[in-house]
């Protein structure tokens, strides 16, 4: 099974991807996807986007930039810059983001509300001579509808008209955000009808989740995880084990690695963030997920209350000294990302 790390805005930039590969990945993650780039009228990348896609900041070869747009013109110039200036030969289109500000502009999962425009977008993109001549690969990360899943088969038919590198499916509609059950029947339809390789994304947070998924869909060859690997980075060992069901974790070692991983991410973020407040806020985002695998959460409150860097570091030290990692059978995240 191929394992991909999902793009999570504010979390999975290179300051997390590189430490993850160093501490946990070590070749186990088949693709890392960047948080989305949003093309603008200036035809220039933002500073933070440039920093995140800069090859010097990406020690892994298997990084895939994600782009969010509903304009084929903007998509094409972005692809050209990513290819010519940074050497990226595969680009991912975001057709799944449920954010209200994104959807209101017809982007992300908002793109799924106008199928004629979406088909025209793909036709103009795939018929572009530059993209054809340079054999640039395009994948799509999609939801199964905007306000309902009634048109999922129609959406799938559009994707089938084009040679995508992959179709990554998060089987929820936009209004689900990240709540409600994933609609596995919609994913099953794609497995049966898609002419493109299908990747699953959604609610694989634990070993049990993964085993249940591969039991239901033994023919699926790749899965994308976001929240699950942020909460429990060592879960990657289970996913890549020859026998995931019987793989025995060393939870003490996993705790040591979690401490190292946290320290490496903090070091990388402090290099680019001025002042304690911003860096601490970004680190707290990680703890909103990682706290779910701790056997005692009471010391997490000290981490979340900290405002100054020394205070934060001390709170994390106390937390890691007083708690242990547990492998949960089930995780139910609060409404975040």
CA dihedral of 189, 193, 194, 200, whole degrees rounded to 10: 20
Helix axes 152-160, 115-126, angle to 10 degrees: 10
Q: Is 141 assigned to a binding site? A: yes
| Strands 31-33 vs 66-67: parallel, antiparallel or unpaired | unpaired
- Find the catalytic residue in 29, 95, 97, 325: 97
Active site residue 97: yes
Q: Is 66 assigned to a binding site? A: yes
C-alpha–C-alpha distance, residues 191 and 8, integer Å: 25
β-pair partners for 244: none
DSSP H or E stretch at residue 137? strand 137-142
Q: Is 161 assigned to a binding site? A: no
Strand order, beta sheet including 167-169: 63-64, 31-33, 2-5, 222-225, 198-201, 167-169, 137-142, 90-95, 66-67
Which residues are CB-contacts of 179 (< 8 A; sequence separation ≥ 6)? 335
The 10 Å Cβ neighbour count of residue 269 is 19
Q: Is 226 assigned to a binding site? A: yes
Q: Is 170 assigned to a binding site? A: yes
C-alpha–C-alpha distance, residues 206 and 235, integer Å: 7
Q: Which two tokens stand for residue 214?
A: 């591969």
Task: Cite the active site residues.
Answer: 97
Extract the annotated binding site.
Answer: 66, 141, 170, 226-227
Extract the annotated binding site for FMN.
Answer: 66, 141, 170, 226-227
């Amino acid at each position: 099974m191929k394992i991909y790390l999902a793009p999570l805005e504010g979390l999975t930039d290179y300051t997390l991807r590189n430490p993850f590969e160093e501490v946990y990945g070590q070749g186990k993650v088949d693709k890392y996807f960047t948080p989305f780039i949003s093309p603008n009228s200036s035809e220039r990348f933002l500073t933070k986007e440039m920093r995140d896609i800069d090859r010097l900041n990406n020690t892994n070869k298997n990084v895939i930039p994600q782009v969010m747009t509903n304009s084929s013109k903007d998509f094409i110039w972005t692809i050209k810059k990513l290819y010519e200036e940074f050497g990226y030969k595969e680009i991912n289109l975001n057709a799944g983001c449920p954010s209200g500000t994104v959807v209101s502009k017809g982007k992300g999962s908002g793109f799924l509300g106008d199928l004629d425009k979406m088909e025209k977008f793909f036709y103009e993109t795939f018929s572009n001579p530059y993209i054809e001549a340079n054999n640039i690969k395009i994948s799509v990360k999609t939801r199964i509808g905007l306000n309902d899943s009634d048109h999922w088969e129609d959406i799938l038919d559009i994707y089938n008209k084009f040679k995508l590198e992959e179709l990554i499916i998060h089987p929820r509609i936009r209004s689900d955000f990240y709540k409600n059950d994933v609609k596995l029947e919609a994913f099953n339809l794609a497995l049966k009808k898609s002419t493109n390789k299908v990747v699953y994304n959604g609610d694989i947070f634990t070993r049990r989740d993964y085993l249940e998924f591969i039991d239901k869909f033994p023919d699926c060859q790749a899965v994308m995880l976001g929240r699950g690997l942020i909460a429990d980075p060592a879960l990657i060992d289970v996913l890549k084990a020859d026998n995931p069901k019987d793989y025995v974790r060393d939870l003490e070692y996993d705790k040591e690695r979690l401490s190292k991983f946290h320290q490496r991410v903090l070091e990388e973020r402090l290099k680019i963030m001025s002042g304690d407040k911003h860096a601490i806020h970004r680190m707290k985002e990680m703890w909103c997920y990682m706290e779910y695998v701790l056997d005692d959460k009471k010391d997490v409150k000290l981490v979340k209350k900290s405002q100054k860097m020394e205070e934060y570091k001390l709170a994390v030290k106390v937390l890691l000294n007083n708690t242990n990692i547990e492998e949960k059978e089930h995780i139910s995240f609060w409404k975040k990302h």
